[in-house]
Structure 1
Amino acid sequence: MRNKILLAEDETTLSTIISETLEDEGYEVIAVTNGVDGLEAFRSEHPDMIIADVMMPRMDGFEMARHIRNADPDVPLIFLTALSSISDIETGFDIGADDYLKKPFKMRELILRIRALLKRRNVSGIREEALEKNEITIGEYIFDAIGNKLTHGSHVLELSRIEAMILLFLINHKGITVRSSELMEFVWQHDDYYNRNSLHGYIHKLRKHLRHDPNISIINLRGIGYRLAITT
């Protein structure tokens, strides 16, 4: 399922460029040109992320964000604006912005920030599920993402913190190929040659840990990354 992004931007040309670029990246975009329509779209479409200009007609981005934050304190929110004073930036973050991008900006920078925020939200969601249930089911296994434990039948295996982080990330993107660089940034906050070798070693260990269920596999797409596949 594609992540749904609500884009509230009254500059038609910029809105079109952002929408087309994000759709090319695989996102679904709902584009509106003012805060009133943005708030209505938020309530009806339940987007996974909000990107909002600040200076918009009918209702500005700050006011729209206040209403959204009252309804959902966790949905990722990025402000796009030409306003550059420290007080404006402080206002945005006080309202609950996760990020603040000044115009003009590079589309690649926006895409990277979107990916980072959605990744953080998705992983956080799985951790909350683990806290409530204290377990995540993976085929024949039960994974305790908080206690770093993997259970198969009566056998309980203690995972290292890094093994647990990698497994959690793969579960969160089950069936999707994740780039090695994304995994390294998530685990070590850095992508380099040494971490790449370490990642390969940890993947090898996780495959051994999961070998008792033949329906589970961690597929290596050479030069790209890994995919957790579970067949039934």
Structure 2
Amino acid sequence: MTQAPVQTAQMQKILLAEDDNDMRRFLVKALEAAGYEVISFDNGLSAYNRLREEPFELLLTDIVMPEMDGIELARRASELDPDIKIMFITGFAAVALNPDSQAPRNAKVLSKPFHLRDLVNEVSKVLAA
């Protein structure tokens, strides 16, 4: 008899918005292996529409994406749910950190390239905070 994977009392849900298909697949695989439930989209608008349907503990988003960029997505996500945690994954960290960007102040920024282990560690820290 095989045993089901061990789950926490409540599996934490992450909404991932990343337009690079390979990157998105790697991120989903790493986060699911760490025990998170991950719903992913390849653009900000689709991710925003899903946020309007159900709550998530974390929005993990790229900044530069088609249809709606990650900063706009994060701003709107914060309006929908002030308690949602936000983390940017980007090659453009200076954009996210720019005070004029209107990115949520408490958002975490992880600069590309990064190791998947570092991503999982940062996600767990953000969710535990």
TM-score after normalising by structure 1 = 0.48
Q: How does 1:66-215 map to 2 (within 5 A)?
A: 66-85=75-94, 87-91=95-99, 94-96=102-104, 97-120=106-129
CA 88–75 in structure 1, closer or farther in 2 if over 3 Å, else same? closer
Paired with 2:109 and 2:56, the residues of 1 have a C-alpha distance of: 19
Paired residues of 2:45 and 2:67 also in contact (CA < 8 A): yes
Give the match's secondary structure for 1:47: coil
Give the match's secondary structure for 1:18: helix
% identical aligned pairs: 33
Paired with 1:110 and 1:14, the residues of 2 have a C-alpha distance of: 12
Does residue 49 of structure 1 match 2:47? no
Question: Rg: which structure is higher?
Answer: 1
Letter in 1 for 2:18: E
Q: CA RMSD in A?
A: 1.7
> In the TM superposition, what is the alpha-carbon distance from 1:88 to its structure 2 partner?
3.8
CA 28–37 in structure 1, closer or farther in 2 if over 3 Å, else same? same
Paired residues of 2:63 and 2:96 also in contact (CA < 8 A): no
Q: As a proportion of its length, which structure holds more strand?
A: 1
Does residue 16 of structure 1 match 2:28? no
**Deviation by residue 1:24-83 (Cα, 9 ceiling, x = unmatched):** 111100000111101011111311111000011011111111111112222110001111
CA 108–15 in structure 1, closer or farther in 2 if over 3 Å, else same? same
Structure 2 gap ranges (5+)? 1-9
Paired with 1:45 and 1:92, the residues of 2 have a C-alpha distance of: 29
CA 72–104 in structure 1, closer or farther in 2 if over 3 Å, else same? same
Paired residues of 2:18 and 2:24 also in contact (CA < 8 A): yes
Paired with 1:12 and 1:100, the residues of 2 have a C-alpha distance of: 20
Letter in 2 for 1:30: I
Structure 1 runs (4+) greater than 3 angstroms displaced: 91-94
Structure 1 gap ranges (5+)? 121-232
